[in-house]
Structure 1
Amino acid sequence: MYLIEPKRNGEWIYDPGTSMALQEYVKDHIFLDDDVLFPYMMHPAVQIGKFQNAYEEVNQPYMDEHDIKIIRRETGGGAIYLDDRNMSFCFLFNGTNDAYGNFERLYEPAIKALKNIGVDENLLSQKGRNDLVLDGKKISGAAMTVQKGRIYAGYSLLLDPDYEAMVSVLNPNLKKIESHGIQSVRSRVGSIRPYLAPEYQNMTVWEFTDYMICQLLDIDDVREAKRYELTPEDWAGVDKIAAEKYNSWDWNYGRFQQFGYRLTERFPIGTVSVDLTIEHAKIAAIQITGDFFGTKDVKEIEEALVNVRLKKDDLLNALEPLDLNHYFGNLTKEEFVSFILSEKES
């Protein structure tokens, strides 16, 4: 099995879009005489499945506040939070045979590796469709698809999950969304570190990664790995995919064709309700109602927001010419936009 690391000029690449683009480039353009392993680590990001509606999966205001990106992958499955405290592993397996859809088989090497550093085998098992569970808590979720006769699969391993960020970012409050996206099943999330043997308790994430690479490649030292080094031409292809797809708003947010939702919130100036129809992440229709007092017709706000992307900066820019005090009373543009994106139910 070849090892392909996301390194450019010797430096690890953390950008979520580039990480995903690298994997896509390799699976579509590089065909080797053996399987491929890609370890990857990202700056904080939420990775959602190909068929999910981004707005159903994340707390967008929290993401904006903490500079957390969203990235849509090419495989199905649910939303996961990734950061630089945990490592993920993707694979390209030549041939599809009986391995496609067999998550138990996919996890076998990882389970063996974790047992070897002290994890109790009686507490560790593959459960449900695609989860790895330790002591009743999820420490990994896997995804899999077939591309050009090869199985493209991957999973994360939660060594030190950031529980606060994970819970906050994967906790959308919207209850009245009307969509046909495949929603994530929320599970109790666990951590691998507390279950390691004492001599492994202080492993860094990089030491853990090197250990897992050795186990997955069946070698004694990571320096023994059979590697494929990306060329400048390869990186040019990766950058093109990242720019046109994985770092594109249309791919990450706008791919989902249409959905609608309703919000109601009680402000000091009165109750405000907003009904929205969203098409490709842009506001196709909006209706504002409530018991607030204003001297101008809110229809002007509605007209200003039609065809605007459901994104904080775009919404604020669209409202820039308007003084919302004339429409609602003492309500700022920032408060109104945060309300639209807050996904709160009355």
Structure 2
Amino acid sequence: MRYIMNRSTDPAYNLAAEEWLLMNTQDEVFMLWRNAPAVIVGRNQNTLAQIDEDFVRERDIPVVRRLSGGGAVFHDLGNINFTFISNDAGGGALDFLRFTTPIVDALGRMGVTCSFDGRNDLVIDGRKVSGNAQHIAGGRVLHHGTLLFSADMTDISGALRVDPEKYKDKAVKSVRKRVTNIADHLPESMDVETCMARIMADVSGGAQDAATFADAEVRAIEALADSRYRTWDWNFGSSPKYGFSRTTRTPGGVVEAHVDVQSGVIRRIRLFGEYFGTRDVGHLEAELTGCRHDRGELAKVLDGVPLEQYMLGVDRDTLVGCLF
């Protein structure tokens, strides 16, 4: 077993590290790591349907898709992430209890009583402290989970807040539960890094944790992060097909937008409302069809459009905002 205390807090790098270890080594792994503030969405989710897009954009919070399924989670430096990689994939069946038991035991020896609950959660007194997910590839299983230690609950609720009626699709939805921080249940005060060290020592049986990654490994992981986990195509474009609708009151009147998106690209758009214009709005809809459902790309397209002729009183940024 390779024990890794990964000191990176870059979410794209850390998710790439998991995939690289899974696909390019035969090591069995236990790794602890943290992310700077980020939203991590499940493999099968519609990214925009899981987040408050204004909240994460205004705070420059990255949104990154992971390999495994399940729901979206908010990470910050008060959240501990743990990863197990095993050569025994359990016959291809998902087994969450197998990998959460060592974590439950480690927390128990710190004086925190938690238990496995539902499909994939750990709870303290019925309140969630850990969500878990798995991915199986090449006869190996990647199991990773979160541990809310001293996470900012305001950011969690803000980043993951979204109107459930806004997106109509069949993608996996995140299930929100009441949550709590492990730090609030410890019999003795400790910081997050001390907790990580205690968990590592417990799971490893006191083994010395290895240097995180060799230089060649770091270069390979960075390359994977650049080619996948830092790309719009993976994080947003890989979303399942979805339909989006929004009604917005603007200085030019109410604008009602209906948008169908596939592979992150607008396939159909209709713009209704109370606005006035001298040109057929169908021409504007045609300009936006085929564009990525991305603020920057939409703004570029609209820069070349005489928007006031289609929608008097509706400027570029206002219309872009109507489409999210």
SS in structure 2 of the partner of residue 178 of structure 1: strand
Q: 2:243·2:259 contact (CA, 8 Å) conserved in 1?
A: yes
Aligned pair partner of 2:61 in 44, 68, 72: 68
- Listed as ranges, the matches of 1:7-86 within 5 Å are 12-32=7-27, 35-86=28-79
SS in 2 for 1:171: coil
Q: Partner of 1:267 in structure 2? A: 250
Task: Give yes or no for the alignment of 1:87 onto 2:80.
Answer: yes
Deviations 1:175-196 (A, max 9, x none): 1423221111111121111111
One of 193, 209, 213 as aligned partner of 2:196: 209
Residue 268 of structure 1 deviates from its aligned partner by 4.1
Structure 2: how far apart are the matches of 1:285 and 1:262?
12
Q: CA RMSD in A?
A: 1.9
Unaligned runs of 5+ in 2: none
What TM-score, normalized to structure 2?
0.93
CA distance in 1, matches of 2:218, 2:185: 39
Q: 1:229 to 1:135 in 2, by over 3 A?
A: closer
Alignment correspondent of 1:277: 260
1:274 Cα deviation (Å)? 0.8
* Whole-angstrom distance in 2 between the partners of 1:5 and 1:30: 17
Aligned to 2:282: 299
1:322, distance to aligned residue in structure 2 (A): 3.0
Q: Decide which of 325, 330, 336 is 2:313's aligned counterpart.
A: 330
Deviation at 1:257, TM superposition (A): 4.4
Following superposition, the deviation at residue 305 of structure 1 comes to: 1.6
Distance in 1 (CA, whole Å) between partners of 2:299 and 2:92 is 49
Q: C-alpha displacement at 1:139, in angstroms?
A: 0.6
Partner of 1:115: 108
Amino acid at match of 2:3: L
Structure 1 residue 339, shift from structure 2 partner: 2.1
Q: How many residues align?
A: 324
Q: Secondary structure at the match of 1:52?
A: coil
Task: Please report the TM-score for the alignment, with normalisation by the length of structure 1.
Answer: 0.88
Give yes or no for contact 1:100–1:145 (8 Å, CA) kept in 2: no
2:95 and 2:21 map into 1 onto residues whose CA distance is 23
4+ runs of 1 displaced by more than 6 Å?
none
Seen in structure 2, the aligned counterparts of structure 1 residues 26 and 71 have a Cα distance that, compared at 3 Å, is same
Contact kept in structure 2, 1:99 and 1:105, CA below 8 Å: no
Is 1:324–1:333's contact at 8 Å kept on the other side of the alignment?
A: yes
Percent identical among aligned pairs is 29
Deviation string 1:74-123 (CA, Å, 9 cap, x unpaired) is 1111111111121100111221348953322322222222222222x3xx
2:129 is paired with a residue of what secondary structure?
Answer: strand
Shift of 1:303: 2.5
- Aligned: 1:218 with 2:205: yes
Aligned match of 1:3: 3
